């Protein structure tokens, strides 16, 4: 593949430091493209929630990517949220648009020519118009999630009638927006086969490809089979609604059932922005650590990862990382979306609280099976999520769009 491409990667939060799954996914795209010999420039939004301090980034990364950031206040405003009911805007998306970022983007596009503009997530699509006005580059939407699917599921599980009504409205506006924006880009890089199929079922007529989350297996030392005592853990950003919803459900509906059968088990919770009621909660056999400096170090001495997601779309990055380290995963079907698993061989599915508790009880009483599933999971990660192979597919997709 001799043609070297020049790519502008537009990010809704800084890829580095890689604090959460979305950051890791974006950074792995960057690293894969650079390793393959292509040119990547990054223009990113940064916020109160996801700050950017360029001086702390590796010097070679700054030189290779020419990373620039523009601050955007994405804080949810009640006034703006309800004004969107009148203006018919999708508030979840519109709060990522700012004139400052738009001006910086236009300046870059007037100064440089790119082959591809890679839009990381739906939240960067408000800038499509500016990209079209100032560039002839192909626009590729990297779809991390189908956002309206997430909010449909969140709305369905919300007890407050006014909140449920607003969330249903929000999901409808997101769906309308996602349908319209898919027709404005040149191609869609979905993050899973399931999301690819959903895009097609919603009428996406543009070229679309499944480009899953990729990892460098060498970055994830295997430790699953060397653990004597079974420890259960969850690792994920707790300011992402589906993660918080799932953990609250697990603590209320599942963990008491687990302890009734396996009183020796411990549950370890880690993640950014851990809520105060979890940090200070008195949950039996639960150790809440909040944010951890090194995710792989946190996972190293633990054997079983839980993914109790009730509402989500796309691929859970932490599952793939856990698999790469040889961890046994127990997940809801929603949590395991996008992973080509075999239930009971390289991942265990649990749809109800009773099934979750039984799965953990069985693993706790069969250390050999627990270790074998972890080994199978690592093999699956090696076969399906190798970043070099995935990057090759993404580059070919770019080239196909360019040469159409």
The model's pLDDT over 63-97, given as tens digits with 9 standing for 90+, comes to 999 999 999 987 754 434 444 433 344 445 677 88
pLDDT at residue 308 is higher than 70: yes
Strands (E), 213-290: 232-235, 267-270, 286-290
How far apart are alpha carbons 215 and 390 in whole angstroms? 9
pLDDT at residue 107, as a whole number: 98
The model's pLDDT over 336-379, given as tens digits with 9 standing for 90+, comes to 987 889 999 999 999 999 999 999 999 999 999 999 999 999 99
What structural domains and CATH numbers belong to the chain? 6-214+386-402 (3.40.50.2000), 218-384 (3.40.50.2000)
Short-list 18, 38, 22, 222, CA closest to 121: 22
Q: DSSP H helical segments within 183-287, as ranges?
A: 193-201, 241-249, 255-261, 276-279
pLDDT at residue 79, as a whole number: 37
């Amino acid at each position: 593949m001799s043609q070297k491409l020049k790519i502008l990667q537009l990010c809704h939060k800084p890829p580095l430091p890689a604090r959460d799954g979305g950051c890791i996914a974006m950074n792995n795209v960057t690293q894969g493209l650079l390793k393959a010999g292509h040119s990547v420039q990054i223009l990113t939004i940064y916020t109160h929630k996801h700050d950017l301090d360029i001086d702390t980034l590796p010097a070679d990364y700054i030189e290779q990517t020419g990373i620039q950031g523009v601050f955007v206040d994405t804080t949810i405003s009640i006034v703006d949220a309800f004004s969107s009911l009148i203006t018919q805007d999708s508030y979840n998306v519109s709060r990522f648009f700012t004139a400052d970022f738009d001006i910086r983007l236009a300046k870059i596009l007037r100064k440089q020519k790119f082959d591809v503009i890679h839009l990381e997530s739906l939240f960067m699509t408000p800038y499509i118009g500016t990209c079209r006005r100032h560039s002839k580059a192909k626009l590729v939407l990297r779809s991390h999630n189908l956002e309206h699917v997430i909010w449909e599921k969140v709305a369905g599980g919300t007890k407050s009638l006014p909140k449920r009504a607003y969330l249903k409205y929000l999901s409808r506006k997101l769906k309308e927006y996602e349908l319209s924006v898919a027709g404005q880009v040149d191609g869609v890089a979905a993050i899973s086969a399931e999301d690819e199929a959903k895009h097609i079922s919603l009428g996406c007529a543009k070229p679309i490809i499944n480009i899953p989350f990729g990892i460098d297996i060498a970055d994830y030392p295997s430790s699953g089979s060397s653990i004597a005592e079974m420890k259960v853990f969850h690792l994920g950003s707790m300011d992402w609604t589906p993660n918080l919803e799932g953990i609250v459900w697990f603590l209320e509906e599942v963990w008491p059932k687990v302890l009734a059968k396996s009183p020796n088990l411990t549950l370890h919770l880690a993640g950014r922005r851990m809520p105060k009621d979890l940090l200070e909660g008195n949950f039996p056999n639960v150790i809440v650590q909040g944010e951890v400096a090194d995710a792989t170090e946190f996972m190293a001495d633990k054997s079983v990862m839980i993914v109790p997601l009730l509402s989500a779309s796309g691929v859970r990055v932490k599952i793939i990382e856990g698999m790469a380290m040889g961890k046994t995963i127990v997940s809801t079907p929603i949590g395991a979306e996008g992973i080509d698993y075999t239930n009971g061989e390289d991942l265990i599915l649990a749809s109800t609280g009773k099934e979750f508790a039984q799965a953990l009880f069985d693993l706790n009483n069969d250390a050999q099976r627990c270790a074998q599933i972890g080994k199978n999971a690592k093999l699956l990660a090696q076969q399906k999520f190798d970043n070099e192979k995935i990057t090759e597919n993404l580059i070919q997709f770019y080239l196909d769009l360019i040469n159409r």
